[in-house]
Amino acid sequence: MKKIAWMLAGVLMAASAVYAQTTIRLGSEGAVDKRSRVAVPPFATSDASLTKVARELSEVIGFDLEFSGLFYVIAPAEFPPQFSVLDPDVTKTDFNIWRPTKAEYFVYGYIRQEMNELVGQFRLFDLATGQQIVGQELRVDSKTPRLAAHRFSEEIVRYVDGTPGAGTSEVCFSGGETGKKEIYISDYDGANVQQVTKHGSISIKPKFSPDGNKIAYLSYKDRFPFIYVFDRRTGKSAPVSQEPGINAVPSWSPDGSKLAMVLSKDGNMEIYVRDADGRRPVRLTKNRFMDTSPAFSPDGSQLAFVSDRGGSPQIYLMSAAGGDASRLTNQGGNSYDPAWSPDGKKIAFVVEKRGEGFQVWWMNTDGSGAAPLTGTSANESPTWSPDGRNIMFMSQRAGGKTLWAVNVKTGQEWLMSKGKMSCEGPSWGPRRK
């Protein structure tokens, strides 16, 4: 029964996405905060109807920057007393009044409307010199104004740290009322929630394809647990695995051509890989133990997975072609839900220990350096941001199922879910082009 319980937890554990800062860990006690201070005042516009949008876009950039873990965004209470609003003419910006705030950078934005497009002129200035260091004019559909701000925030992060941020990325997850769950998509920060499936059943464990155009998921819509793929371009779902027994926990190969999954048609839980259209299933594990939760490495050469072959659920590693497996987790308790970092250097996972509940941990890919990232109970289903700076997960710390994220460098945790909908099983998608 215990085996069945953890197996079903892995299959069925599966968060809506307002945000709220909770904690921040800056290394050891007394450590110096090395984040760059940046000022992001409400953006300028010559169109009174865009005032609210202009303010919102400045807030979007501010959140993106702080979320990266690289910046401290100064609060309005820290703005210079002489400041009222930004001038639509950027040359009239007085940088001198901002220098006492000790901000290193200053973000300027000017927002206007052209036909059905929203146009944002964004600039990043070095406050010490008053010189522009990053600038972009971005055009987006007026229905998706936040996208312009997300794009510029990615460039700011790229300038400061070499790797762009994750502002334009999206998250898919399972959510809904008791007894029914559908698949949803939102911006990574929880905005623009959209329902993807309308099966009127239980649909869980969604996984974004590498290009973000498809979502693989498990659904009971046809009575039994089968795996389907939703194509965002056509708006249609198609079955890819309808084997007898359990079909569960799909995972995309890095090139999007294959899906790893768990099938029970052999009498127990085994890992298979098949083409993304469902053809040519190949069995990878062959033993009497339960093997589940496969996750491809970013280069596609290896699979991390969960097995109880050592007596309790733990993370193992094997070639993507199958064969011998090596155990990675040895920190005590049970381990679940492996998720590779985008650079292939770390694996996030969940540890269950008596008296501690479920916590998100991470480790090196050889199993060394294992350490917890969260400190409250009931955290599950980790998934990495495309820039590798944050891990999102489902948490029940507030009673219901909500999406949270933790910055792996600072330890800062954020509530990502909006509204009261129960949410679970997040999958972080790629940046949008």
What is the sign of the dihedral through the CA atoms of 5, 6, 8 and 12?
positive
Residue 55 is part of a domain; what is its CATH number? 3.40.50.10070
What is the predicted pLDDT for the residue at 15? 28
* 197-228: pLDDT as tens digits: 999 999 999 999 999 999 999 999 999 999 99
Shared domain for 12 and 41, answered yes or no, is no
Task: Say what angle helices 146-161 and 51-67 make with each other, to 10 degrees.
Answer: 30
- 67 falls in which pLDDT band (50, 70, 90)? very high
Residue 13 has pLDDT above 70, yes or no: no
Shared domain for 313 and 389, answered yes or no, is yes
Residue 23 has pLDDT above 90, yes or no: no
* 335-365: pLDDT as tens digits: 999 999 999 999 999 999 998 899 999 999 9
Q: SS3 for 68?
A: coil
Residue 177 has pLDDT above 70, yes or no: yes
Residue 5 has pLDDT above 50, yes or no: no
What is the sign of the dihedral through the CA atoms of 281, 286, 287 and 291?
negative
**Strand 170-176 versus strand 422-428 pairing type:** antiparallel
Shared domain for 152 and 17, answered yes or no, is no
- For residues 402-420, one letter each, b for 16 or more C-beta atoms within 10 angstroms of the residue's C-beta and e for the rest, the string is bbbbbbbbbbbbbbbbbee
Residue 220 is part of a domain; what is its CATH number? 2.120.10.30
What is the predicted pLDDT for the residue at 17? 29
- The percent of residues in the chain predicted with pLDDT above 90, rounded, is 87
**What is the number of residues in the chain?**
433
**Residue 404: its H or E element:** strand 402-407
Provide the residue range defining the domain that includes 127. Answer: 36-161
Shared domain for 222 and 353, answered yes or no, is yes
Shared domain for 234 and 366, answered yes or no, is yes
CB 17 within 8 A of CB 423: yes
What is the predicted pLDDT for the residue at 364? 98
Q: Phi/psi at 418 (nearest 5 deg)?
A: -115, 145
Shared domain for 228 and 357, answered yes or no, is yes
- 56 falls in which pLDDT band (50, 70, 90)? very high
End of a domain among 161, 182, 211?
161
End of a domain among 161, 182, 206?
161
Residue-wise DSSP of 335-378: EEEEEE-TTSSEEEEEEEETTTEEEEEEEETTSTT-EES--SS-
Tokens of 397: 């710390």
Mean pLDDT rounded to a whole number for the chain: 92
Residue 94 has pLDDT above 60, yes or no: yes
CA 224 to chain centre: 29
* 355-411: pLDDT as tens digits: 889 999 999 999 999 999 998 779 999 999 999 999 999 999 878 999 999 999 999
Shared domain for 153 and 215, answered yes or no, is no
Residue 29 has pLDDT above 70, yes or no: no
Residue 31 inside a domain? The answer is no
Q: Which carries the bigger pLDDT value, residue 177 or residue 269? A: 269
